[in-house]
């Protein structure tokens, strides 16, 4: 029996068509992409910057826009202290620039309406980016699927698209938000009580739970979810660290 070789995605130049500040340290870049198939919510792209001497830096960025936004994808780039690629984006990248991308990648960390729910989303900092794509896709194509988001950020100003998330929680039946700020108000990291509050927003235990953020955040939250009785097979994780 002959095996089908894995499909290798080709690098292609994608032009930046919009740039917008989302928070003081996160910027949104909209890229025009000529993909034959749209991505699935939650997937990412691989990006390559090549210097004149041939040195290349590769990084992954989650797609924050839903598949229904055809022809373009939004990446939310958080500025990392002394970060090579994120600094380039914050200090130099402009509308009109062409950047090498390949994707979409990361099928295991993706959700589509036919996957159903209930779905628990747990995001820390810029780890909310791929979860935004899922929430936006739910609103566009599957508003009956129950979803809850446990969103952790340091301050309100640093939480990604908090206005949008709060408006969705207010206006969209079947979507609920639990926000935990670690450096403002009660200054609490997400804990057992936050997980319980998010689970209580769902009509049944989650069939899928998507966790995204730094390695430490994902590890801590995975343990809390399993402690709360979420089925291990439901849990999918993406680490930005
Ligand atoms: C699947 C996936 C999706 C992702 N999605 C996103 C996203 O949507 N948004 C996002 O902002 N990021 C995302 N990331 C993270 C992203 O890929 C980069 O890691 C991030 O932008 C930092 O890259 P950088 O080049 O700016 O920093 P780097 O140059 O890689 O540095 C990162 C940090 O490490 C420190 N550092 C570097 N070298 C050393 C060293 N030798 N010793 C000690 N410290 C060092 C730097 O000071 C900096 O603070 C994702 C990662 C993965 C794997």
Residue whose CB lies within 8 A of the most ligand 1 atoms, among 28, 57, 101, 240, for a mutation test? 240
Instruction: Calculate how far, in angstroms, residue 188's C-alpha sits from the geometric centre of ligand 1.
Output: 25
**What digits encode the pLDDT tens for the residues 152-211?**
999 999 999 999 999 999 999 999 999 999 999 989 999 999 999 999 999 999 999 999
Calculate helix-pair angle for 162-171, 129-141, nearest 10 degrees.
30
Ligand 1 atom nearest to CA at 79: 26
Assign 4 a pLDDT band (cuts: 50, 70, 90): low
Instruction: Specify the pLDDT at position 76.
Output: 98
Fold of 108-239: Rossmann fold (3.40.50)
**What digits encode the pLDDT tens for the residues 117-162?**
999 999 999 999 999 999 999 999 999 999 999 999 999 999 999 9
The residue whose CA is least distant from atom 10 of ligand 1 is: 77
Question: Where do the domains of the chain lie?
Answer: 12-105, 108-239
Mean pLDDT, to the nearest integer, of 86-105? 97
pTM for the model stands at 0.96
**Ligand 1 pocket: which residues have CB below 6 Å?**
44, 59-62, 76-78, 80-87, 106, 126, 129, 238, 240
The residue whose CA is least distant from atom 4 of ligand 1 is: 61
Q: DSSP string spanning 140-209?
A: HH-TTS-EEEEEEESSGGGSTTHHHHHHHHHHSTTEEEEEEESSSTT-----HHHHHHHHHTSSSS-SEE
The CATH class of the 12-105 domain is mainly beta
Instruction: Calculate how far, in angstroms, residue 80's C-alpha sits from the geometric centre of ligand 1.
Output: 6
Q: Is 230 left (phi over 0), alpha (psi -120 to 50) or beta?
A: beta
């Amino acid at each position: 029996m002959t095996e089908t070789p894995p499909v290798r995605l080709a690098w292609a130049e994608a032009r930046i068509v919009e740039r917008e500040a989302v928070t003081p340290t996160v910027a949104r870049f909209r890229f025009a992409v000529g993909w034959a198939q749209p991505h699935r919510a939650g997937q990412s792209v691989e990006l390559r910057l090549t210097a004149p001497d041939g040195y290349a830096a590769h990084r992954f960025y989650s797609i924050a826009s839903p598949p229904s936004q055809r022809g373009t994808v939004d990446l939310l780039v958080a500025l990392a202290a002394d970060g090579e690629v994120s600094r380039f984006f914050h200090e130099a990248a402009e509308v009109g620039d062409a950047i090498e991308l390949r994707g979409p990648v990361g099928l295991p960390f993706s959700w589509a309406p036919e996957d159903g729910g209930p779905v628990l989303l747990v995001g820390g900092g810029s780890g909310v980016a791929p979860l935004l794509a899922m929430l936006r896709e739910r609103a566009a194509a599957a508003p009956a699927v129950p979803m809850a988001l446990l969103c952790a950020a340091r301050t309100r100003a640093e939480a990604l698209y908090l206005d949008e998330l709060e408006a969705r929680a207010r206006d969209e039946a079947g979507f609920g938000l639990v926000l935990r700020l670690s450096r403002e108000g009660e200054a609490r990291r997400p804990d057992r009580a936050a997980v319980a509050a998010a689970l209580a927003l769902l009509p049944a235990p989650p069939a899928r739970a998507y966790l995204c953020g730094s390695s430490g955040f994902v590890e801590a939250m995975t343990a809390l979810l399993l402690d709360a009785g979420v089925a291990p097979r439901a849990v999918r994780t993406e680490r930005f660290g």
